[in-house]
Every structure is written in structure tokens, then in C-alpha cells.
Amino acid sequence: MPLFVEAIMVVVVMLACFFGVFLLLFLFALALFPVEKSLSKMVWDMTAPKRKPIPQPQGGFKGFSEKHRS
């Protein structure tokens, strides 16, 4: 086989290996995405400050004009 054909084949094989490894890492990350999402949600729930319940308004607008007459 001529030298330039062999060099081109080596370059093509190296590029194919590089993109193959990239594809495998991408698929691995895609497969682990649900696990990461659930772990992230669990950590956010543990570290989030606890919210106090919002107090319900007493009464409403009924009688507002009698209370605030000047």
C-alpha cells in the first residue's frame, strides 16, 4: 500500500475513534440524566429554606368603609 494511502487511513481511523469515544460519552451522559436530575432535586429539597404558610386574610372587604371612615 502506498505511504500516503496508509497515512490517510491512519488519520481517518484516529478521527473515527475520537468521535466514537465522544459518542459513547454522550450516550453515557444521556443514560445517567434521570439519575442526576433526581439527585439534584433531592439536594435542592434538602437545602431549600422551609417556607412558612401564608396566613389567610381575615374577613376580606366586608365592612372596610365603616372601619376606615374619616
If residue 60 lies in a helix (H) or strand (E), which one and from where to where?
Answer: none
List all residues 6 or more positions away from 22 whose beta carbon is below 8 Å from its beta carbon: none
Domain limits of the chain? 1-32
Dig out the grid coordinates for 18 from the structure.
Answer: 475520537
Encode pLDDT of 24-33 as tens digits. Answer: 999 999 999 9
| Residue 64 in this model has a pLDDT that exceeds 80 | no
- How far, in Å, CA of 21 to CA of 27, rounded? 10
Give pTM, 2 decimals. Answer: 0.53
- The mean predicted confidence, pLDDT, of the chain is 87
Phi, psi of 45 (to 5 degrees): -65, -35
Higher-confidence residue of 54 and 16: namely: 16
